[in-house]
Structure 1
Amino acid sequence: MSPHQVNNDQQQEQKQGSSAGGGGISFKAPPGSGGLGELGKSPKHWLMGDEAFEARMPHHDGVQALWETKWKFPCSKSLYPFHDGLYADFAPSFDALIKTNHNDMTSPAWTTTFLSTGVAEQLVEQGDKLVAELNNIKPPGRLQPEQQQQQQRRRQLREQASSLYLRACCLYRIARFPYITSIPKVNDQTKWDAWEKQKEIYLKAGKLWEESPVEEVKVAFLDNRQMQQGEGQWIPVYVRVPPAGTSSQPSTGSGGYPTVILMTGLDGYRPDNTVRCNEFLARGWAVVVVEIPGTADCPADPADPESPDRLWESLLQWMGTYQYRGKRAFDMKRVMVWGLSAGGYYAVRIAHTHSHRLAGVVAQGAGVHYFYDKKWMEKVDGHEYPAQLMPAFALKHGYSSVEEFKAGVQKKFSLLENGILDRTSTRLLLINARDTDGYNVGYPRRFDAH
């Protein structure tokens, strides 16, 4: 399984999009400048163009502008960040936010507005009723005509209940937007409660996917620094394995399926990747979904640039022993990483720190040096991301203020500054868009030069 086999599937991106943190941060280097430029210096030009770099996008003018200029259309098409959802589920909440002119997405009031409509609870109740009916139908034995009808009805009930649960999950997702973390402490209890509900309902849906259900596993964080740095003891992951009997050739002889480790982003977490996981499964690949340091349930210290190395080592050790249906689940000779948006940074890092353990890495939107440039950070809050990006990124990297973040993050976290990019890398595919607002197509050019 080589990285080029994992392409930027158009259908997948239309349905699911990418999580936050992206952007136009590469510079157009003059001929002969080479590499990622000089340490500590800002680029002279931005590939997205000076006009776009300086511009402030209209959706930052308030919730009405956000809805009408950026989010209403994708919501009507169930596109990111509304994948799995329906327009009718969200219209009442946005009507209420616009009526009260509530513009702060980071506030608890944003969250309670979505929950107070009762739509999420109604969807879950409807799903529960269908599951109750499903449980009253005996699984078919020998497929006589009557049993065939029952089997078809069971399939319909599973699909309908799953759809209802996923719609509720989408509401909880937008309610807890744009960012949550739990290390060193929960940053917003109201949003965290919505996150807990999202996970609870998502697992209800995942149990209905009979051929490849979602299994939640708590992996031991073997080298955690609980006493010194307040790290957690467990790495929660979602595991999905192809249906029984699926083969993925050629086999290396070590057993198990070729596997994708999916590293999530700043605002999209484990329950937000159904379509991607389905695409992996359709290709005969298992998938392990895991959150990155500083987000959601990840136990690693966000302020420690080396914490992900300890995190991934624990994950890979566990993967080598994990069994599913009584058999080895993962072919450890065919493991690749796919990092999304903010997760792209960690994908590039693991490509260098664990190069001998991976068949390849896809970094989809990876900012590793110039994303942390002060000039860029002064402008990014007016760009594509729907909320202010810098407060979330400061907290995600373990800083108590945006000012501290801007002053120190590049020296501390840049993969160029800390020498990670000088190490040997496994095969690394970078996928970036030209005009997105955080990580863009210039990065692959700079990597190639470096």
Structure 2
Amino acid sequence: MSQEYHIGEALFQPAEHHDSFEKLWEMKWKLPCTMGVYPFMFGCIQDFQPVVDNIIRKGLREPYNWDEYASCFFPKAEELAAIADAAAAAGEQDKAAEYYLRSSAVYRIARFPAPRSEKQRDAWRAGKAVFYKGAALLPFPIREERIPHVHGNAKEGDVIPVNYLVPPAASAEKPAPLVLIFTGLDGYRTDLAVWQRGWLDNGVATMVAEIPGTGDSPADPRDPTSPDRQWSSVLDWLDKRPEIDSTRIVVWGFSTGGYYSLRAGHTHAQRLLGIVSQGGGCHHMFDRDWLERVNKLEYPFDLANTLAYKFGYTDLESFILEAPKFSLLGDGTLDKFRCTNVLLINGEGDEVFPIDDQYVALEHGWPKMSRTVLNRKHMGEPEAFFIIIQWIYQLFGMNADVSEQMRKMPSKMKY
């Protein structure tokens, strides 16, 4: 993990320092076929060679034409999917699974960081299709559940699609605890599936759900209270699952998902054993001063504009004007609700969401647990993962090997 992290850190330097794909290719000799570097999960470096060559040949630069950018990925993604189809027809299940998932990785980067154009939306749809084909062929298949959004309002969709994976031994007599993963700004349920097998092997069920404004979340992204309705629908559904111990549900929110997990830890405190906010903000992430500068910091794309899109705004200025309504301090969430067990964790040098927000959360409301990872940026990786998993083990009363679980996260390619 350490080696992979440092490679990823070099790839994702401030946007003005390089073009992401040119820098990626300068470092190709350091990258193995097996990739654990976010956001290339399930990917192989050689699958991206023709894509990167095409991007460089065309001289694409920010600000991207997103349709043109996404189009560069489709030929390789389609080629990989065709190999998977042929393998599936020949009964070569392992090979088919691998190539479907590799195809999904290429489609993922085509729609990254958010599907803002029609071609990127095509990539999201195609990526989902090949992901679920491949995930269905895994030793422990990951399938989509479509949860009725019973608490949604007239502006919202009526279904919440999620990934759901339960240990085979889980039953009404011996229900499993569950880690409910909240996705981030750019990582959707098909991407964070990399975490699910490791938890299953330790007897823990997992669900991966997308936050408002991302993936297929039906919640109104411009309504600060819409996540409360979405999580109520999800938790109601879980309450009815005999194989799940609904008294032992922990939410783990990644990045922007950490904002939503911190909110859920207050609004749904009685229904959750604990929450982790990894790299999440709560207040200053919505400040004008931060949003006007963050495009040139750690994130490799236009972060502020992507956030504006995610929260349902067509332009950055409109988002900046209304962004304070999402503050968990400004709307009273941090002070008016007693929270469940909370772990706040981030890198001290986070340039995606200000580390100041971690202290805002600590200074208001019910006491919380916090850990700052020194000399790391957004989310405090990789050390934060070990801290978080051990903390969840303790909440569940488990005795397991964190290192062994972490070794199962990177995809291992055979073909």
Query: Which TM-score applies when normalising by structure 2?
Result: 0.80
- Aligned partners of 1:312 and 1:16: how far apart in 2? 35
- Aligned partners of 1:69 and 1:408: how far apart in 2? 41
1:270 aligns to what SS in structure 2? coil
CA offsets 1:52-81 (integer angstroms, 9 cap, x no match) = xxxx93555545655457899668762111
Contact 1:261–1:337 (CA under 8 A) maintained in structure 2: yes
Structure 2 vs 1, CA of residues 16 and 333 (structure 1 numbering), >3 Å: closer, same or farther?
farther
**Of 109, 121, 135, which residue of structure 2 is paired with 1:174?**
109
Structure with more relative contact order (C-alpha pairs < 8 Å, separation 6 or more): 1
Q: Does 1:245 align with 2:169?
A: yes
Q: Which residue of 2 aligns with 1:389?
A: 303
**Of 236, 240, 245, which residue of structure 1 is paired with 2:161?**
236
CA offsets 1:398-417 (integer angstroms, 9 cap, x no match) = 2232112112202x000000
- Aligned partners of 2:316 and 2:152: how far apart in 1? 27
Distance apart, 1:308 and its partner CA? 0.5
Q: Which residue of 2 aligns with 1:6?
A: none
**Of 70, 76, 81, which residue of structure 2 is paired with 1:124?**
81
CA offsets 1:327-380 (integer angstroms, 9 cap, x no match) = x22110111101111111000000000000001001111111011111111110
Q: Which amino acid aligns with 1:367?
A: G
Contact 2:15–2:299 (CA under 8 A) maintained in structure 1: no
Q: Which residue of 1 aligns with 2:70?
A: 111
Contact 1:15–1:83 (CA under 8 A) maintained in structure 2: no
Q: Which residue of 2 aligns with 1:57?
A: 14
- Aligned partners of 1:113 and 1:107: how far apart in 2? 10
Distance apart, 1:282 and its partner CA? 2.1
Q: Which residue of 2 aligns with 1:307?
A: 226
Q: Which amino acid aligns with 1:129?
A: A
2:299 aligns to what SS in structure 1? coil
- Aligned partners of 2:163 and 2:4: how far apart in 1? 21
**Of 317, 320, 344, which residue of structure 1 is paired with 2:239?**
320
**Of 208, 215, 224, which residue of structure 1 is paired with 2:152?**
224
- Aligned partners of 1:241 and 1:130: how far apart in 2? 27
Q: Which amino acid aligns with 2:347?
A: A
1:128 aligns to what SS in structure 2? helix
**Of 51, 54, 71, which residue of structure 2 is paired with 1:93?**
51
**Of 343, 347, 364, which residue of structure 1 is paired with 2:278?**
364
- Aligned partners of 2:95 and 2:356: how far apart in 1? 43
1:376 aligns to what SS in structure 2? helix
Q: Does 1:206 align with 2:135?
A: yes
Contact 1:165–1:201 (CA under 8 A) maintained in structure 2: yes
CA offsets 1:296-317 (integer angstroms, 9 cap, x no match) = 2111100100000011101111
Q: Which residue of 2 aligns with 1:284?
A: 203
- Aligned partners of 1:163 and 1:129: how far apart in 2? 12
Contact 1:381–1:388 (CA under 8 A) maintained in structure 2: yes
Structure 2 vs 1, CA of residues 70 and 369 (structure 1 numbering), >3 Å: closer, same or farther?
farther
Q: Which amino acid aligns with 1:405?
A: F
Distance apart, 1:207 and its partner CA? 1.1
1:311 aligns to what SS in structure 2? helix
Contact 1:63–1:98 (CA under 8 A) maintained in structure 2: no
Q: Does 1:269 align with 2:227?
A: no
Distance apart, 1:160 and its partner CA? 2.6
Structure 2 vs 1, CA of residues 438 and 239 (structure 1 numbering), >3 Å: closer, same or farther?
same
Contact 1:16–1:275 (CA under 8 A) maintained in structure 2: no
Q: Which residue of 2 aligns with 1:434?
A: 348
- Aligned partners of 1:292 and 1:64: how far apart in 2? 27
- The aligned runs of 1:146-157 (5 Å cut-off) are 157=92
- Aligned partners of 1:258 and 1:374: how far apart in 2? 40
- Aligned partners of 1:72 and 1:345: how far apart in 2? 37
- Aligned partners of 2:160 and 2:359: how far apart in 1? 34
Distance apart, 1:428 and its partner CA? 0.6
Contact 1:431–1:441 (CA under 8 A) maintained in structure 2: no
Percent identity between matched residues is: 36
Structure 2 vs 1, CA of residues 171 and 203 (structure 1 numbering), >3 Å: closer, same or farther?
same
- Aligned partners of 2:310 and 2:7: how far apart in 1? 23
Mind listing any 5+ residue stretches in structure 1 that lack a counterpart? 1-9, 23-55, 135-156, 181-186, 248-252, 323-327
Contact 1:345–1:367 (CA under 8 A) maintained in structure 2: yes
Q: Which amino acid aligns with 1:434?
A: E
Q: Which amino acid aligns with 1:302?
A: P
Q: Which residue of 2 aligns with 1:140?
A: none
Distance apart, 1:275 and its partner CA? 2.2
1:332 aligns to what SS in structure 2? strand
CA offsets 1:255-296 (integer angstroms, 9 cap, x no match) = 521001111011110110232112221221111111000112
Greater Cα radius of gyration, structure 1 or 2: 1
Contact 1:66–1:386 (CA under 8 A) maintained in structure 2: no
Contact 2:295–2:301 (CA under 8 A) maintained in structure 1: yes
1:271 aligns to what SS in structure 2? coil
Q: Which amino acid aligns with 1:284?
A: G
Residues 193-202 or 68-77, more deviating: 68-77
Q: Which residue of 2 aligns with 1:29?
A: none
Q: How many residue pairs end up in the alignment?
A: 359
Structure 2 vs 1, CA of residues 380 and 239 (structure 1 numbering), >3 Å: closer, same or farther?
same
Distance apart, 1:128 and its partner CA? 2.2
Q: Which amino acid aligns with 2:87?
A: L
- Aligned partners of 1:75 and 1:293: how far apart in 2? 34
Residues 360-369 or 99-108, more deviating: 99-108
CA offsets 1:12-54 (integer angstroms, 9 cap, x no match) = 9859989xxx9xxxxxxxxxxxxxxxxxxxxxxxxxxxxxxxx
